[in-house]
Amino acid sequence: MSENIVAETAERIFADLADAQNINGAANDGWKQPLWSALTDAGLPLSWVPEECDGSGASLADGFAVAASAGKFAVPVPLVETMLAGWLLAQAGIPSPAGRMTVAPARPQDRVALNADGTLSGRLRGVPFASEAAHIAVIAQSAKGYSIALVETSACRIETGESLGNDASDTVTLDNVRPVSSKPAPSAFTPTSLMQMGATVRSLQIAGALETMLEITVRYSNERVAFEKKISKFQAVQHNLARLAGEVAAAVAAAGSAADAIASSSLFDDAVFLEVASAKVRCAEAAEKGTAIAHQVHGAIGFSMEHILHRYTLRALGWRDDFGHESYWATELGKFVAARGADELWPLVASR
């Protein structure tokens, strides 16, 4: 358990109502509503919303701990998306409605336009859980700058899709949609700020999922017997487990460092960008390498739908694409370093 009481509350709820084995064997989605009700009663979906905006008023650090816990359980409900939406709305002082929400854009190249008449237009791909959410928090651009708006999902056109983990990942089209509320974004707050926050949350989720993958894989290696001994006794398997542990440690460290940087800063400055970009790249790499190792150790059983491993590996792989994939962040990181020149490279690295 975490020493963070908010994360401990989340983990207790996940352990009781989001057990991977129970969900994997469920005949339908009837387990979702009890889980969501418990999370709502604990105030977790609106963790990052201040009390004056009808939220729980938890700190950024508390919310990041909840995101990491959600990753450990590969929770297939829009908890972190609702947290992000509430956080985005709070930047403009817009109260958060009750119920499930999501946030957009979730891709760096996508844009929402704020029209002269106050309506919103744009086509947004890969919006997580849009078809399950009642509202979407968006950041939009006009000639006067950026605004943050709350939109009813029913006012948008939704093209349903699925992520690698079989969670909703939809295309949302806003065609002159009238928002429920819209206010100017704070100065210096841009879509990149949302991308950095989303990338950090996804990095934490990936790291959390990798921790569970390691636990499952080590346990399996101590149970599976081949040639009259546990496979954990084979040097090749031990080597793979050590590699997996290394990837997990790297992801946890990188994601945690990015979360700490945001939590301790009042701005999305260069220091935060460096941490976030590095974390998303490293966690995405760890997801690719870690899932391959976990499935290799498990063999054929790990690929079966009856086994829970895929609940973590597929989601970790899918989360790489949300809020900028590793190639995007690697490119942005390269631009960031190149713009400062060779003389500043080492001081930049050493300062972290």
Q: Is 231 within 8 Å of 224 (Cβ atoms)?
A: yes
What is the average pLDDT across 298-312?
90
Residue whose pair of structure tokens reads 């935060």 in the numeric block: 272
Joined together, the tokens standing for residue 146 give 């950026």
Confidence of residue 282 (pLDDT cuts 50, 70, 90): very high
Distance CA 280, CA 203 (A): 6
Confidence of residue 307 (pLDDT cuts 50, 70, 90): very high
Supply φ then ψ for residue 274, to 5 degrees. -60, -45
Strand pairing category for 169-177 and 229-230: unpaired
Nearest to 33 by CA among 99, 83, 129: 99
User: Between the ranges 5-19, 77-91, 301-315, where is the mean pLDDT highest?
Assistant: 77-91
pLDDT attached to residue 2: 45
Residue whose pair of structure tokens reads 């079966």 in the numeric block: 304
- pTM of the complete model beyond 0.75: yes
Confidence of residue 266 (pLDDT cuts 50, 70, 90): confident
- Collapsing DSSP to helix, strand or coil, 139 comes out as strand
Nearest to 172 by CA among 119, 116, 128: 128
pLDDT attached to residue 1: 39
Overall CATH class of domain 5-184: mainly beta
Q: Where in the chain is the domain with CATH 2.40.110.10?
A: 5-184
Distance CA 227, CA 301 (A): 18
Overall CATH class of domain 191-350: mainly alpha
Whether 136 has a pLDDT exceeding 80, the answer reads yes
Q: Where in the chain is the domain with CATH 1.20.140.10?
A: 191-350
